[in-house]
Amino acid sequence: MNSDEVNWLLQTIEDPENAKRFVQAQYQRGRIPYHVMASLARDRNWTDWPVVEKPAALISVECITTRQEILAATTP
């Protein structure tokens, strides 16, 4: 799914906590790319978003960058 599709779906979810759970579940199932999930967290000010890392198959530099991007996307 891309950002537009996810945003369209999120319009049907009234409870913010359910929206967070939906996005996290879709990301964990591989249906939402990392950059879409991080963008949604930033756009919706989900500051208590749990830290999610990319799969361990990435080289260490990519994992460090990923963690920094998540933290940057979720902190005010």
How many C-beta neighbours within 10 Å does residue 71 have?
12
Q: pLDDT at position 70, please? A: 64
Averaged pLDDT in 10-residue chunks for the chain of 76 residues: 86 89 88 85 77 48 56 63
- Containing H/E element for 6? helix 3-10
> At 2, is the secondary structure helix, strand, or coil?
coil
Residue type, 11: Q
Domain tally, the chain = 1
List the domain range (segments joined by +) for residue 38.
3-74
> At 30, is the secondary structure helix, strand, or coil?
coil
pTM of the model: 0.58
- Containing H/E element for 19? helix 16-28
